[in-house]
């Protein structure tokens, strides 16, 4: 059975837009890419002494299970040369599984919905752009409702309507 999956992509080193476009193309190995949000330039959170990020959200349909989606995303990161030298530090590509249908998954190394989904403006802005009615399966709120509930804070600026621009 095919599931709708939402993935968050981010890059803050090298050719950020090129890194994201490469990752988006490679996501077709996981399933059918249905929608891609605009790219957003975002200030870093938690570890702030690093370059700003480009972020987007990709929607895809897949027959793969949640663990397979995660493993495929990690393989794309590794294939693109991602190295994990510092937690929350600079990276050429980062791919996180945000939502997998309406499932809740709690396994070692895999938590769906993403634990920080409801508090990250850099995720909710692009998610609400392409899927304003996507519902958080635990909080029972849509991405638009979660976004509207956030306090002012992190700067998130849309850079393009079409990520291919």
Active site annotation includes 135? no
CB within 8 Å of 42: residues ≥ 6 apart: 10, 52, 53, 54, 55, 121, 122, 154, 155, 156, 157
Active site annotation includes 82? yes
| Distance between CA atoms of residues 81 and 115, nearest Å | 25
Peptide bond into 113 cis (omega under 30): yes
Active site annotation includes 4? no
**Which residue of the set 16, 91, 120, 121 is catalytic?**
91
**Which residue of the set 16, 82, 120, 121 is catalytic?**
82
**Which residue of the set 2, 16, 94, 102 is catalytic?**
94
Residue 116 CB coordination number (10 Å): 14
**Which residue of the set 16, 96, 120, 121 is catalytic?**
96
Active site annotation includes 96? yes
Catalytic positions are: 82, 91, 94, 96
């Amino acid at each position: 059975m095919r599931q709708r999956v939402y993935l968050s992509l981010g890059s803050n080193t090298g050719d950020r837009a090129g890194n994201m476009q490469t990752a988006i193309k490679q996501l077709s190995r996981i399933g059918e890419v249905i929608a891609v949000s605009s790219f957003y330039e975002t200030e870093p959170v938690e570890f702030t002494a690093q370059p700003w990020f480009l972020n987007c959200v990709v929607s895809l349909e897949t027959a793969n299970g949640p663990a397979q989606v995660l493993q495929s995303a990690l393989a794309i990161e590794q294939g693109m040369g991602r190295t994990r030298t510092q937690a929350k530090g600079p990276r050429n590509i980062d791919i996180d599984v945000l939502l997998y249908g309406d499932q809740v998954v709690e396994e070692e190394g895999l938590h769906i919905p993403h634990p920080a989904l409801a508090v990250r403006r850099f995720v909710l802005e692009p998610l609400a752009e392409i899927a304003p009615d996507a519902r958080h399966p635990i909080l029972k709120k849509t991405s638009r409702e979660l976004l509207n509930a956030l306090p002012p804070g992190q700067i998130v600026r849309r850079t393009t309507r079409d990520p291919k621009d």
